[in-house]
């Protein structure tokens, strides 16, 4: 499995993602410039990653300009053919702007940029994962019909929780509706999340919970209650 990490003007987590995948998870990574279009070196078993940052300076809306970049046109086609796509933070915003994922990311409820460790847990798991966040527009929102559809299809992959795995209002850092931290599309090949798993994969940093999230892409399995952590079903 290969990973392609897209680099936009303003990306600031692209090298973090590359380092986490290459050095902590021993994966092959190819960096992709936003003006390029060629994804012929990737199969649908591979994964394209849209990293965090401030693509194109976050002008208009976060991710609104990146959605029209030459590389994103290829990424959209790649996803429509069944290729795996992961968007983290700004990457999640881009996926929503591209309509590869439903909903929008709004300004945080407290109207401030938030940078800290939070806890989240995946579907089918009681284990709380400690993952950093760093965003000003991370409040996931969608209408009731969309939310109910996400619930019915098990597309809500991660929710904010406390360190004991309890989903509470106090554990919601940005006011996201229904404590949503990450979702996937109906065909489960496109995934977006606001927290940064690539910032929690190194032993040197004292937190490796992010490996659980990234490893799920590699393993391609769904977590069960008996497994040691929540894995995303790609």
* Residue 222: predicted pLDDT: 33
3-state secondary structure (DSSP) of residue 5:
strand
Residue 5 — very low, low, confident or very high, per pLDDT cuts 50/70/90? very high
Q: What is the rounded average pLDDT of the residues 25-30?
A: 96
Higher pLDDT, 73 or 224: 73
pLDDT in tens, 85-142: 999 999 999 999 999 999 999 999 999 999 999 999 998 788 999 999 999 999 999 9
pLDDT in tens, 196-212: 999 999 999 899 999 99
3-state secondary structure (DSSP) of residue 122:
strand
pLDDT in tens, 176-195: 999 999 999 999 999 999 99
* Residue 86: predicted pLDDT: 97
pLDDT at 225 over 80: no
Domains of the chain, residue spans: 2-219
* Residue 62: predicted pLDDT: 87
Rounded alpha-carbon distances, angstroms, from residue 64 to 33, 103, 138: 17, 14, 15
The dihedral through the CA atoms of 78, 84, 87, 92 has a sign that is positive
Phi first, then psi: what are they for 162, rounded to 5°? -90, 180
* Residue 190: predicted pLDDT: 96
* Residue 35: predicted pLDDT: 94
pLDDT in tens, 136-176: 999 999 999 999 999 999 999 999 999 999 999 999 999 99
Residue 226 — very low, low, confident or very high, per pLDDT cuts 50/70/90? very low
Rounded alpha-carbon distances, angstroms, from residue 202 to 16, 26, 58, 206: 11, 12, 29, 7
As a whole number of angstroms, the distance between CA 214 and CA 2 comes to: 13
Higher pLDDT, 16 or 57: 16
Give, in words, the CATH class of 2-219.
alpha beta
Annotated active-site positions, please? Answer: 89, 196, 198
* Residue 224: predicted pLDDT: 30
Phi first, then psi: what are they for 23, rounded to 5°? -90, -30
- Quote the mean pLDDT of the chain: 91
* Residue 109: predicted pLDDT: 96
Model pTM score:
0.91
Helix (H) or strand (E) holding 118: strand 114-122
* Residue 220: predicted pLDDT: 61
Q: What ranges in the chain are assigned the alpha helix state H?
A: 14-19, 70-80, 90-97, 144-152, 210-219
Q: What is the rounded average pLDDT of the residues 45-68?
A: 90
* Residue 221: predicted pLDDT: 35
As a whole number of angstroms, the distance between CA 65 and CA 114 comes to: 23
């Amino acid at each position: 499995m290969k990973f392609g990490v897209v680099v936009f003007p303003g990306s600031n987590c692209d090298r973090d993602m590359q380092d986490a995948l290459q050095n902590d998870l021993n994966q092959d990574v190819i960096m992709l410039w936003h003006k390029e279009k060629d994804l012929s070196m990737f199969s649908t078993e591979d994964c394209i990653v849209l990293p965090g940052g401030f693509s194109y300076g976050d002008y208009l809306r976060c991710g609104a300009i990146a959605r029209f970049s030459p590389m994103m046109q290829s990424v959209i086609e790649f996803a429509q053919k069944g290729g795996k796509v992961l968007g983290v933070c700004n990457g999640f915003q881009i996926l929503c702007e591209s309509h590869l994922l439903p909903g929008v990311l709004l300004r945080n409820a407290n109207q401030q940029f938030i940078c800290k460790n939070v806890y989240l847990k995946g579907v089918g798991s009681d284990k709380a994962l400690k993952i950093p966040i760093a965003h000003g527009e991370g409040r996931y929102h969608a209408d009731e019909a969309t939310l109910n559809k996400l619930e019915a299809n098990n597309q809500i992959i991660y929710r904010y929780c406390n360190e004991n795995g309890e989903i509470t209002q106090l554990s919601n850092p940005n006011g996201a509706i229904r404590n949503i931290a990450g979702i996937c599309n109906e065909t489960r090949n496109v995934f977006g999340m606001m927290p940064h798993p690539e910032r929690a994969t190194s032993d040197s940093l004292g937190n490796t919970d992010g490996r659980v999230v990234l490893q799920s892409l590699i393993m391609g399995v769904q977590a069960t209650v008996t497994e040691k952590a929540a894995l995303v079903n790609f």
